[in-house]
Structure 1
């Protein structure tokens, strides 16, 4: 049930959502700025070229550019996307990074270890110091496809998610790729151990019961023993899911197949439109009690002649038939203390002058929070204009629990911060010459909170290590 807007937001200031309220501009907190000040061009310490604008005092180095070579001799693929950081020996960081490669272009690395030898996506694992110097790297999952985002798991794995349902049983997708060349069904979650040396054979078994749909991100909540997942269904409604595994992964050491898939629904409001596509979007501060509806067939195999548009809606439609809520393009997710934050990239009202973007949803982005202990959902932020926030995608939490938002807009892209009380600020701008519309992706702080690692997701991708005076602002 909708419990209110501004009054509910004020009443819950000390509650499970940490007092998220909606403010569009940076403000002062405890005598210091929320943000870090004006952005200016900063030279990349790798080669002196300017690729980012950052606040004064911050530096960065880029590494692992597409076309380079991993430590195992594999050519570094493109489309660097979701990523997580893990602690390893000597104060170094282990990064596990997705590559959102589509099409039957052949597996990266050794095809003998691939889930599908025809598919070119997967993950690479990199040991790096906090200044972006690489010590070793290798392919850690191959033969998957469209590995978009995922999530770091407390049992020492990265869950890599396929944002597709391509397979030999499905018609060609919007890119026109020939799905008949694929050897396996796609659209799954893979459990990739965070380790070097890497062994892709340990990661190439999909968790089929966690659904075959356009997965985006995944986070684990130990309190409810559930994996929460977002769906980025570009042209159609998306859903928010949870997977209840049959065995506690903390005991098994990995995510086990054979569990139960469910989809979020709002109590008393079947198929409520939370995206604002079919009418007014909820106001910021709106809070809903939720329940979970079962997905009877989480891993469909499709009959000959099934189109890609039909297939990509099949799992979500089962949930909507049972009353599941409707979102627009759910992408990034992050969690701490029982709250799962996630972005709706095109959710909300269309800001004045923003135009009508293609895809499902006309807004410029929402940020939602699901409080697992109380089964409560709240809209904590909505973009008021493209200048403030434009298509939020991957997200991460900082040491202070301020969110890092990666933009995937079409008029220059930023990394932005969103504080616990709903205030937003700019932190970085993509200044790569001729490529300022390339999206940020995979933001993650290192285990010591001293370095922010982030990717540029493009045909020619790369990864940045950014460091500086974090204590000066909201992160």
Structure 2
């Protein structure tokens, strides 16, 4: 059988440092298999409809179409991709809005005790902002999931005006992940024959100009890769994914997450998690629901994030509305489940800078409508 790999994480330092890309090390193993998770089984649904392991609790921090508690700001519809930022003794959670037109993004500001002290808009006038990514210089890349969509660089504090980054290409963007070592940004594309891209800025920290490349490799699911320049990132005459012969195709690119030399990304069309080893220049299939023994607990793979313990948290679009984790021991298990919301999807998982709180949204809530989104916080004994 073809060798599969899974990135095992060994993180040294604080949670905040790990979330910024601390030491992770690669090891070869079989695909992650179902097993008992490190937090034990899920309990009964709480008052918010969340089934959590023992010791964890939830609260709702925002609802679409309603004023955020303690503020005069109305939370956006269809909350999607998100990220957290340190803000003095507190933090900020940024969340996209996946509606078209008038998508954009908003932010929640928390004080040191976790109380919401402000909510505000950071991006307006854009279309179907799905996922995105955090930069090392603490901006939020908000991606438009429409044909010939743009990436917008936004200020989580809402002070500086958002900037459209045309050099990063025009295509159906999904997520982004910054690699500060190679000084590139990886990008996924959410179409059935999409590609995996990297953008190299002319000057690191300035995304106004640079080179867009697409990944190339053979027809398999693992092996060495090469990168080729996309001749016309605007996609004006020919779609970016069709400009380079031999570009590797991926079935519905979704979440994208980087840590210490490796970029994970997911594809929803085949329920796979991929591992790109930037140092070695190789691509490996890290998880595939068709390769697990028995029933696969993780399906509908979507947004991803990681923790200091080396756990990878993967949100489901559909499936049974779970966030599953894949441990460094190659065990895949549910971490939480949302009951009573079959017409929704889980989006935007991101940890607070200290790693003690997990934020995410149910995009369409209990009614299945974009106006019924719910943004949650889960607190508990996350592994350090």
Which residue is 1:217 aligned to? 175
Q: 1:18, CA displacement in angstroms?
A: 3.0
Whole-angstrom CA distance in 1 between matches of 2:9 and 2:64: 45
Whole-angstrom CA distance in 1 between matches of 2:321 and 2:284: 26
Change (3 A) 1:369 1:42: same
Which residue is 2:213 aligned to? 262
Whole-angstrom CA distance in 1 between matches of 2:112 and 2:297: 30
Whole-angstrom CA distance in 2 between matches of 1:420 and 1:379: 16
Does residue 279 of structure 2 align to residue 373 of structure 1?
yes
Which residue is 1:419 aligned to? 327
Q: 1:381, CA displacement in angstroms?
A: 0.9
CA RMSD of aligned residues (A): 2.4
Q: What's the secondary structure of 2:167's corresponding residue?
A: helix
Which residue is 2:377 aligned to? 465
Kindly report which structure 2 residues correspond to 1:46-61, keeping only aligned pairs within 5 A, or say none: 49-61=47-59
Does residue 306 of structure 2 align to residue 397 of structure 1?
yes
Q: 1:73, CA displacement in angstroms?
A: 4.2
Q: Deviations over 1:98-122 (max 9, x none)?
A: 011113xxxxxxxxxxxxxxxx100
Q: Deviations over 1:53-102 (max 9, x none)?
A: 11111101112101112587443221100000011122x21111101111
Aligned positions, number: 360
Change (3 A) 1:421 1:437: farther
Give the structure-1-normalised TM-score.
0.71
> Is the 8 Å Cα contact of residues 413 and 439 (structure 1) preserved in structure 2?
yes
Which residue is 1:141 aligned to? 123
Q: What's the secondary structure of 2:43's corresponding residue?
A: strand
> Is the 8 Å Cα contact of residues 366 and 379 (structure 1) preserved in structure 2?
yes
Q: 1:325, CA displacement in angstroms?
A: 0.6
Question: Structure 1 or 2: larger helix share?
Answer: 1
Q: Deviations over 1:178-203 (max 9, x none)?
A: xxxxxxxx6011111221xx14x621
Change (3 A) 1:129 1:392: farther
Which residue is 1:64 aligned to? 62
> Is the 8 Å Cα contact of residues 189 and 253 (structure 2) preserved in structure 1?
yes
Which residue is 2:315 aligned to? 406
Whole-angstrom CA distance in 2 between matches of 1:35 and 1:16: 20
Change (3 A) 1:67 1:367: same
Whole-angstrom CA distance in 2 between matches of 1:40 and 1:13: 28
Whole-angstrom CA distance in 2 between matches of 1:85 and 1:13: 21
Q: What's the secondary structure of 1:469's corresponding residue?
A: coil
Q: Deviations over 1:233-285 (max 9, x none)?
A: 1xx30110001111110xxxxx422211110001xx3xx2x6xxxxxxx4xxx
Kindly report which structure 2 residues correspond to 1:106-255, keeping only aligned pairs within 5 A, or say none: 120-129=102-111, 133-165=115-147, 187-195=149-157, 198-199=158-159, 202-203=161-162, 205-233=163-191, 236-249=192-205, 255=206
Q: 1:335, CA displacement in angstroms?
A: 1.0
Structure 1 residue runs without a partner (length 5+): 28-33, 44-48, 104-119, 166-185, 250-254, 275-281, 303-312, 348-364
Give the structure-2-normalised TM-score.
0.87
Question: Structure 1 or 2: larger strand share?
Answer: 2
Q: What's the secondary structure of 1:209's corresponding residue?
A: helix
Q: Deviations over 1:295-330 (max 9, x none)?
A: 11111346xxxxxxxxxx7111113xx211111011
Change (3 A) 1:23 1:401: closer
Whole-angstrom CA distance in 2 between matches of 1:451 and 1:72: 21
> Is the 8 Å Cα contact of residues 150 and 169 (structure 2) preserved in structure 1?
yes
Does residue 231 of structure 2 align to residue 315 of structure 1?
no
Q: 1:124, CA displacement in angstroms?
A: 0.4
Which residue is 1:352 aligned to? none
Q: Deviations over 1:159-187 (max 9, x none)?
A: 1111102xxxxxxxxxxxxxxxxxxxx60
Q: What's the secondary structure of 2:279's corresponding residue?
A: helix
Q: Deviations over 1:356-375 (max 9, x none)?
A: xxxxxxxxx11111111121
Whole-angstrom CA distance in 1 between matches of 2:29 and 2:113: 33
Q: Deviations over 1:21-69 (max 9, x none)?
A: 3142225xxxxxx4322212343xxxxx332111111101112101112
Change (3 A) 1:465 1:130: farther
Q: What's the secondary structure of 1:373's corresponding residue?
A: coil
Change (3 A) 1:9 1:448: closer
Change (3 A) 1:244 1:65: same
